[in-house]
Amino acid sequence: MNRTARNWAKAPVRIGRDILHETVRVSGILFRIMIPVVIVVKIMAELGVVRYIAAALRPVMGLVGLPGDMGIVWAAALLTTVYGGIIAFVALAPQTPLTVAQVTILASLMLVAHALPIELRVAQKAGARPLAMGLFRFGGALVLGGLLNLIYRQTGWLQHEHVLLWQPGAVDASLPAWVWDQIVNLAGIFAIILMLVTLMRLLRRLGVIGLLERMLAPVLRLLGMTPAATEITVVGMVLGLGYGSGLIIHHAGSGRIPKRDVLFSLALMGLCHSLIEDTLLMVALGAHLSGILLGRVLFALAATFALVKLSPLLPPRFSAYLYRR
């Protein structure tokens, strides 16, 4: 076998080894963030912190046209994940009938602002200030909810009672079950990152990533962002910060993306991510695509555009409150 043939034979092994090494490196970055935060969140949940957050949110819910009882649904999502909010919603839905418009508003709140302990830590690792990002997402959720409430009330649209299309199965609340769930989640994330790294390499080799970058470049230029931020923005918006955050941190730390663009990309992804999985989950709860998809995407673009245009008008020292220089 000549040298060229041997090189061709070794190429799949070399590529597989490179993909595995990158997956381990990216997963390691993410797991070092997730594991401590997940443990802290579990302790907070056991101490009843969700109830305190729900009590604080109760008067806020009226601002977006929702009953105060729905505060615990958003509190569960804020502290844990979208799935935590779904479980709380399913438990309360029979006692608190809602219209499709109200479910859409509640779902939009959860989609924009959820799992903040983990996702804000990810944003911090990538270079954004967690307080600024948290206020941006929490405030953005309320503004979007208020706008949707205004539109639905003024038009009389979606005022019929919602239908719950799917309910999660019974949840084992024991500590061993929780530990096992976390292990399964981490294994699932590792598998998804492995597939994602492989897919990204394949799509880049086929020129698909380049095509997406060229398609998104005009939108990002309109937002004031450079094309270098396109790839991580695509990952976060389509797959979500949970699955894509390892790659986001990896690319953000490479130095090839300006730090202000990392901030704007994280802001856009924070308001609008996991467009496939999370959107389908909320449709199954009875929410309408007009709010959870179209409204969310348009609002995210508008809010990020406003952030991009307003940030240069602020005093230079103010940028230190937004991202690490």
- DSSP, residue by residue, 257-310: S-HHHHHHHHHHHHHS--TTHHHHHHHHTT--HIIIIIIHHHHHHHHHHHHHHH
Which residue type occupies 24? V
User: How does residue 125 score in pLDDT terms, banded at 50, 70 and 90?
Assistant: confident
Q: Which residues contact 54 (CB under 8 A, 6 or more apart)?
A: 71, 72, 74, 75, 76
CB 261 within 8 Å of CB 227: no
Q: Which two tokens stand for residue 316?
A: 């230079």
Cα(192)–Cα(195) distance, integer angstroms: 5
CB 33 within 8 Å of CB 122: yes
CB 100 within 8 Å of CB 161: yes
Angstrom CA distances, 251 to 7, 15, 119, stand at 29, 20, 16
Q: In the beta sheet, which residues pair with residue 161?
A: 99
Q: Which two tokens stand for residue 171?
A: 């949840």
Q: In the beta sheet, which residues pair with residue 99?
A: 161
Which residue did the predictor score with more confidence, 266 or 231?
266
CB 133 within 8 Å of CB 319: no
User: How does residue 119 score in pLDDT terms, banded at 50, 70 and 90?
Assistant: confident
- pLDDT tens digit sequence for 93-117: 878 889 999 999 999 999 999 989 8
Q: Which residues contact 196 (CB under 8 A, 6 or more apart)?
A: 235, 239, 243, 244, 247
- pLDDT tens digit sequence for 203-239: 778 877 677 667 777 777 777 777 767 777 777 777 6
pLDDT score at 271: 93
CB 143 within 8 Å of CB 108: no
Cα(247)–Cα(16) distance, integer angstroms: 18
Q: Could you count the other beta carbons within 10 Å of the beta carbon of residue 59?
A: 10
Cα(35)–Cα(17) distance, integer angstroms: 26
Which residue type occupies 259? K
CA 169 to chain CA centroid, nearest Å: 24
User: How does residue 170 score in pLDDT terms, banded at 50, 70 and 90?
Assistant: low
Q: What pTM was computed for the model?
A: 0.79
Cα(324)–Cα(286) distance, integer angstroms: 40
pLDDT mean over 18-46: 76
CB 95 within 8 Å of CB 80: no
